[in-house]
Structure 1
Amino acid sequence: MKILICTGIFPPDIGGPAQYAKNLREEFIREKHQVKVMSYKFEKKLPSGLRHCFYFLKIIPLVLRTNLIIALDTFSVGLPAVCAAKIFRRKIIFRIGGDFLWESYVERSGNLMPLKKFYETAPILSVKEKIIFSLTKFVLRNSTALVFSTSWQKEIFEKNYNLNPKKSFIIENFYGEKIANLGFKEKKFLWAGRPLRLKNLENLKQVFVEAKKENGDIKLEIVSGVSQDELMQKIQNCYAVILPSISDVSPNLILEGIMANKPFILTKETGLYGKLKDIGIFIDPLDGEDIKKKVLFLADDNNYKEYKERVANFNFTHSWKQIAGEFLEIYKKL
Structure 2
Amino acid sequence: MNELSDLARVRDEELAGRASGAGARALLASVTATDPADLLDPATVPGAGRGRLRTRPMVVGTLAAAALAAAIVIGPSFVDTGSGPATSYANSAIEIERRGGSWIAKVRDPFADHALYGEAFRAVGVDLDMELVPVTPDRVGEIVQFGGQDTNDKAIGGGAEPEGCTIGQEGCFMVVSVEEGFTGHGTLKFGRPARPGEVYQSHGPATRKGGMLAGVRVDERPVREVLAEVRRRGLKAVFQIIEPNPGGDGYGMNPARQSEKVGGDWIVWEAEAHQEGVVRLLVSEKRVAKNPVYGGPKPRQDTSE
TM-score band w.r.t. shorter chain: under 0.3
The two structures have a TM-score, normalised by structure 1, of: 0.26
The structure in which a higher percent of residues are helix is 1
Q: TM-score, normalised by structure 2?
A: 0.28
